[in-house]
Amino acid sequence: MDTNKPPSQALQTIFKTRVDRLPAYAGFVSPGTGYVIYGINTVKAASPNAADPEARNLLAHYDRSVTEEELNAWVATLRDKFPVKIKQSALEKR
């Protein structure tokens, strides 16, 4: 693992951080290290047609994170709107 790159859990925490006022700070508990705090001083727009493979990987990771959050919100809405009750009698062997 490259020590200069934050772990994926850190990236998720950093990307969820509000950056409307800078500097902004993001933190999370890192196993074996303790609590880690990241300072965000500047935010630059990503170039969607970047030739840099690291930039493409970062954009793909961000897309997956956003998709996962949207899916989780959608599933939570469905669970609230259509609650499921399991009938134990239907599960018992006959």
The predicted model scores a pTM of 0.46
Percent of the chain with pLDDT over 70: 88
pLDDT band for position 38 (50/70/90)?
Answer: very high
Find out whether 41 and 15 touch, Cβ atoms under 8 Å: no
Mean predicted confidence (pLDDT) in 3-32: 86
**What is the rounded CA–CA span in Å between residue 19 and residue 52?**
24
Instruction: Pick 29 or 93 by higher pLDDT.
Output: 29
**How big is the chain, counted in residues?**
94
Residue 72: phi and psi, rounded to 5, are -60, -40
